[in-house]
């Protein structure tokens, strides 16, 4: 099945980096003001979703879901639910971090929603890539990233193991009130391995300052 790319309205500076990580064969959902990125990304939407309070409805000959302004979900959160409903199993979100901090936090938590459905999902922005690390997965991190961090968003995460990094861990515990796995580095020429046995954490791979 095609991969789904959700484009939000948060700032994007490095369009080339995004273009290198998506394909024109992907299914693109543009959310409201995310349409401002359409020309620089160089890909047309397959679906447009929004209440159009921050961008005018372009009235293109493309499937469009018009949402009410007064609603529980943000446009991006609605797009996430629509992607799940349509059965996508691999999702990338772009233009969803930076700008308004409330929207950024809500969009990051969408990764945990996708993970609950067993869907592979990540956020790509100008500085980092984010994904959820949950039990049963081992994530490999190449040394092309400047840093990587594990952030426990809620509760307690246990059985955390990190190999081939500047700061390794073995069967460690991270509490949401005590974050200490920030700013780690992959050893030169190595590939770091990160896994967890209980709970879920946010993995951030930072590519530039």
Joined tokens for residue 140: 């490999």
- What are 66's strand-pairing partners? 50
Which of helix, strand or coil describes residue 84?
A: helix
Ordered by start, the domain boundaries in the chain are: 4-126, 133-206
Q: Is the full-model pTM beyond 0.75?
A: yes
Report the C-alpha gap between 45 and 28 in whole angstroms: 5
Q: Does domain 133-206 have CATH number 2.60.120.320?
A: yes
- What are 124's strand-pairing partners? 94, 129
Report the C-alpha gap between 4 and 83 in whole angstroms: 7
Taking all residues of the chain, what is their mean pLDDT, rounded to a whole number?
Answer: 95
Right CATH number for 4-126 from 3.30.420.40, 3.40.50.10240, 3.40.50.2300, 3.40.50.300?
A: 3.40.50.10240
Residues 171, 174, 180: CA angle, nearest 5 degrees: 110
pLDDT digits (tens, 9 = 90+) for 140-155: 999 999 999 999 998 9
**pLDDT-derived band of residue 188, with 50, 70 and 90 as boundaries?**
very high
Report the C-alpha gap between 117 and 173 in whole angstroms: 25
């Amino acid at each position: 099945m095609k991969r789904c790319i959700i484009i939000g309205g948060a700032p994007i500076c490095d369009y080339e980096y995004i273009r290198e990580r998506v394909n024109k064969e992907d299914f693109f959902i543009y959310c409201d003001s995310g349409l401002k990125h359409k020309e620089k990304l160089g890909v047309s939407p397959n679906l447009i979703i929004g209440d159009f309070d921050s961008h005018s409805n372009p009235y293109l000959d493309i499937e469009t879901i018009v949402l009410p302004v007064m609603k529980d979900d943000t446009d991006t959160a609605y797009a996430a639910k629509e992607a799940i409903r349509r059965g996508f199993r691999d999702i990338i979100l772009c233009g969803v971090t930076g700008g308004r901090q409330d929207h950024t936090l809500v969009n990051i938590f969408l990764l945990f929603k996708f993970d609950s459905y067993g869907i592979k999902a990540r956020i790509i922005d100008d500085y980092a890539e984010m994904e959820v690390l949950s039990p049963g997965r081992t994530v490999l991190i190449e040394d092309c990233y400047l840093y990587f961090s594990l952030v426990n968003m809620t509760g307690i995460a246990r059985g955390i193991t990190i190999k081939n990094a500047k700061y390794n861990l073995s069967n460690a515990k991270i509490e949401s009130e005590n974050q200490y796995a920030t700013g780690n580095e992959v050893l030169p020429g190595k590939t770091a391995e990160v896994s967890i046995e209980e709970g879920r954490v946010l993995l951030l791979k930072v590519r530039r300052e």
